[in-house]
Structure 1
Amino acid sequence: MNTGDNCNRRMEEGFSNQNDEESCCSDRETKKQDLNCIVEQNDESHEEKSVTESTRKKKTRTVLELQSDSQDYCSEIEGTDRVKRRKSLVREAAASGQGQQRRLWVKDRSNAWWDECSRPDYPESEFKKAFRMSRSTFELICEELNAVVAKEDTTLRNAIPVKQRVAVCIWRLATGEPLRLVSKRFGLGISTCHKLVLEVCAAIRNVLMPKYLQWPNDDGLRGIKQEYETTSGIPNVVGSMYTTHIPIIAPKISVAAYFNKRHTDRNQKTSYSITVQGVVDPNGVFTDVCIGWPGSMTDEQVLEKSALFQKAKNGGLLDGVWIVGGSGYPLMDWVLVPYKQQNLTWTQHAFNEKIGEIQRVSRKAFGRLKGRWRCLQKRTEVKLQDLPVVLGACCVLHNICEMKKEGIEPELEIEVFDDETVPEDGIKSVSSSNARDSIAHNLLHHRFAGTSFL
């Protein structure tokens, strides 16, 4: 009984378990089908969204292309209208101006001051005060430079007249005024004024220097020797030589070479300079110049670098004649300098006095040079490479003024102070030393010297 019941019970449990498994499988199949439906629905929804997005982008692109085409079309129309209006305005301006074109791109500046100075009735004294020379001398310079300085008018603008070009240069040299002030005074641009100064200075040096600053011919040398001998008693003197320094802004290259080593009671500041060596006749006219060597060089070194030294050494230019120099130069066969040792004799003192009279001629000439052209007294804005041209022009203009007897106002003339470094080897030849002793003896013997000591 018990055994049969157990068997029946197991059979019922087996059938029950089989039914449960079949039910579970059926549920899983149903779920799979549901999931597949959901995935298919999602795929369909994604495809629909992609199609919608693509359509929207195409529509946006089409709208943008239409807008761009519309803008291009409008721009073409506006550009055409603008060109037409501009051409119409040009035709109207040409018709109303009768062929004259307005200088619309040139800044309007006032040149009233120069217009006033250039009037024929402008006072001569005021003109000379402004330009350091009379109107006739100024016009002579303009006439000499006309062929080189003059420019032609263009379709864009009228050329600056020759007189105004020369006036800009001379005013700048005479006053040392900054370019921005020169620009306002003459109604020109700053860069234009700077260019004019360099162009006119170059023209003066190239055109006028061969005519107004040159070594004298034989007749000229005879006259110079006679004048110097009349005033000093020293024969065969053909020039008075001096070297001055022109202050500059410290250069960026080789700055030590331009350092002025001459620190004295009058010169205690650190300064940089270039040198100007000049030989002058009895009237203070330069007959030779050497410009541009660095300020650290001594007078002797500058002399040895000069063309005058090379001509005297190789060409015999100065055979049998003297150029008088100061204590900074050595005694040479053609350079006559004062006695430099202490405890001088009566004869040597007397000789030095007469040498000093000749040397003062060149000192005063340099004083007038710097007084006329005030740009030489201050550190200039001119570039170092352009300075020799500017300084050469100043020397030429000085000569023209001296030759034309253009006096200088006393308050403008200055006294130059260029302290001389005495060379270690002050005597270059025994023959020159003997010649100097002979000149000193003859001066005292013929009572040309020594009278101030009696």
Structure 2
Amino acid sequence: MILLEDQEKDDLEELKNQNHEDKLQFEENQTKRTRAMMDYYSKLQDFHNDSERAEGTRKRKSKSNASNVAVLTIGAAAAEDSVPNDKSAAVGDKSPAAGPPRRLWVKNRSKDWWDQCNSPDFPEEEFKKAFRMGKGTFELICNELSSVVAKENTMLRDAVPVRQRVAVCIWRLATGEPLRLVSKKFGLGISTCHKLVLEVCSAIRNVLMPKYLRWPDEDNVRRIKEEFESISGIPNVVGSMYTTHIPIIAPKISVAAYFNRRHTERNQKTSYSITVQGVVDPRGVFSDVCIGYPGSMPDDQVLEKSTLFQRANAGFYQGVWIVGGSGYPLMDWVLVPYTQQHLTWTQHAFNEKIGDIQKIAKDSFARLKGRWGCLQKRTEVKLQDLPVVLGACCVLHNICEMRNEDLDPTVEFELFDDEMVPEIGLRSANAMKARDTIAHNLLHHNHAGTSY
């Protein structure tokens, strides 16, 4: 028993010593692991600090570069002036400020022709041949439109001057040349020229049309009546009316409506058109226009859809006449010639006198088409933009007529009649009686001619 007890004590002591050694070993290992983890954490922290410093340095460099580029772009003109002339110095300097300023790339085009036309020494006759008007009239139009069409210069490019903008539009309308030739003449891009033409035409419609194309007031109506009566002997005439056709490219929709049978038969080529109805005074100045109805529509239908007809129904033209051709019906306010085959002497004499009035409108349209060559051939302008362009042509025509701008004989245009006798030529019995009375008075008051 004593031996067993001693053996047990020895075993317990040995176990106790073993446990103490294991504990010391564990604590030592734990200390090593803790120290290793602390070293790893310290290195990781240093790595993150280095990364943050590197990122901050990169961002500061990016901001500095962006600032330099912005300064170069905004101060382009100043940078151009400050670039040194010494090539070796420019090559050796690597700083961003020494480089050329950033500008929008623009193709270099020659503006020699326009610069010559814009020169004060350019001959008046040559200017008039190019733009269908003198320098004074051109200057007037530029001054009237300046506040509307002028544009501000930008950092990237200089705006096209007002005179050049107006010149692009007028030369395009006058010659009818394609946009690629307009581009070469004025040193501008094709799309820029197209945009300028539409912008200036829109400005003419909004600014100049209310001033230069309007129905006359009472004083002018009185003067117009007297002038027409002195021409024909027919009293109370306030306007001469005519409808012409402007050729267009075949539209993508409603093709049949724009088909022009008369032009197709005459030209032996399928033709499409839109109509322009106009009323002029004794000088050939338009006082009313109606633009844009399809070319297949006869004159009487165009008249019925116009604002002129609506004002007449409201009683605006009571007691006065607007003279039209055989394509219009006889109404209480529309006076037309006799159209039957066998005319009496009185009727024939009346037709001669009313023909003198009708000729004023026809000649005015001939000058309109002669002056603005874009009206003589199919244009590149889209169908929806044509009324604005044609309206601008009518306004510019009025300005030229009012300022007595002579038309060059080389651009005179021969106008073909497209009149068709309306289905219902007589719309008013009272108008028929009034026409017979006028014809009788012409003959018996020695106003009628004797060329029958």
Say yes or no: TM over 0.5: yes
Partner of 1:442: 441
Q: Structure 1 stretch 303-312 or stretch 415-424: which is displaced more?
A: 415-424
Distance in 2 (alpha carbons) for counterparts of 1:103 and 1:377: 42
Partner of 1:144: 144
Aligned length: 376
Partner of 2:120: 120
Partner of 1:388: 387
Shift in Å at residue 447 of structure 1?
1.2
Partner of 2:298: 298
Query: Could you give the per-residue CA deviations for residues 107-155 of structure 1, whole angstroms, max 9, x where no partner exists?
Result: 1111111111101111111111100001010010000001100001111
Partner of 2:247: 247
Query: Could you give the per-residue CA deviations for residues 35-81 of structure 1, whole angstroms, max 9, x where no partner exists?
Result: xxxxxxxxxxxxxxxxxxxxxxxxxxxxxxxxxxxxxxxxx9xx98x
Partner of 1:379: 378
Partner of 1:212: 212
Distance in 1 (alpha carbons) for counterparts of 2:80 and 2:437: 86
Shift in Å at residue 102 of structure 1?
6.5
Is the Cα contact below 8 Å between 1:245 and 1:418 reproduced in 2? no
Distance in 2 (alpha carbons) for counterparts of 1:303 and 1:208: 25
Percent identity reads 74
2:309 paired with 1:325: no
Is the Cα contact below 8 Å between 1:288 and 1:308 reproduced in 2? yes
Structure possessing the higher radius of gyration over alpha carbons = 1
Partner of 2:37: none
Is the Cα contact below 8 Å between 1:228 and 1:235 reproduced in 2? yes
Shift in Å at residue 157 of structure 1?
1.0
Partner of 2:225: 225
2:96 paired with 1:97: no
Structure 2 length-normalised TM:
0.79
Distance in 2 (alpha carbons) for counterparts of 1:394 and 1:102: 41
> Match for 1:173: what amino acid?
L
Distance in 2 (alpha carbons) for counterparts of 1:279 and 1:159: 39
Distance in 2 (alpha carbons) for counterparts of 1:96 and 1:217: 59
Three-state SS of the structure 2 residue aligned to 1:241 is strand
Partner of 1:451: 450
Is the Cα contact below 8 Å between 2:244 and 2:418 reproduced in 1? no
Shift in Å at residue 409 of structure 1?
1.0
CA gap 1:268/1:431 in 2 versus in 1, 3 angstroms: farther
CA gap 1:263/1:115 in 2 versus in 1, 3 angstroms: closer
Is the Cα contact below 8 Å between 1:299 and 1:421 reproduced in 2? yes
2:366 paired with 1:367: yes
Structure 1 length-normalised TM:
0.79
Query: Could you give the per-residue CA deviations for residues 143-196 of structure 1, whole angstroms, max 9, x where no partner exists?
Result: 000110000111111111000000000000000011011001101000000000
Shift in Å at residue 299 of structure 1?
0.1
1:171-186 to 2 correspondence within 5 Å? 171-186=171-186
Is the Cα contact below 8 Å between 2:104 and 2:157 reproduced in 1? no
Shift in Å at residue 89 of structure 1?
12
Distance in 1 (alpha carbons) for counterparts of 2:103 and 2:409: 45
Partner of 2:15: none
Name stretches of at least 5 consecutive residues in structure 2 with no aligned partner. 1-57, 84-99
Distance in 1 (alpha carbons) for counterparts of 2:328 and 2:101: 63
Q: Structure 1 stretch 119-128 or stretch 90-99: which is displaced more?
A: 90-99
Query: Could you give the per-residue CA deviations for residues 310-367 of structure 1, whole angstroms, max 9, x where no partner exists?
Result: 00102x1110000000000000000000000111111101000111110000000000
Is the Cα contact below 8 Å between 2:277 and 2:289 reproduced in 1? yes
Is the Cα contact below 8 Å between 1:262 and 1:419 reproduced in 2? yes
Is the Cα contact below 8 Å between 2:264 and 2:271 reproduced in 1? no
CA gap 1:90/1:313 in 2 versus in 1, 3 angstroms: closer
Distance in 2 (alpha carbons) for counterparts of 1:150 and 1:167: 13
Three-state SS of the structure 2 residue aligned to 1:353 is helix
2:340 paired with 1:341: yes
Name stretches of at least 5 consecutive residues in structure 1 with no aligned partner. 1-75
Provide the alpha-carbon RMSD of the alignment: 2.5
Distance in 2 (alpha carbons) for counterparts of 1:299 and 1:326: 9
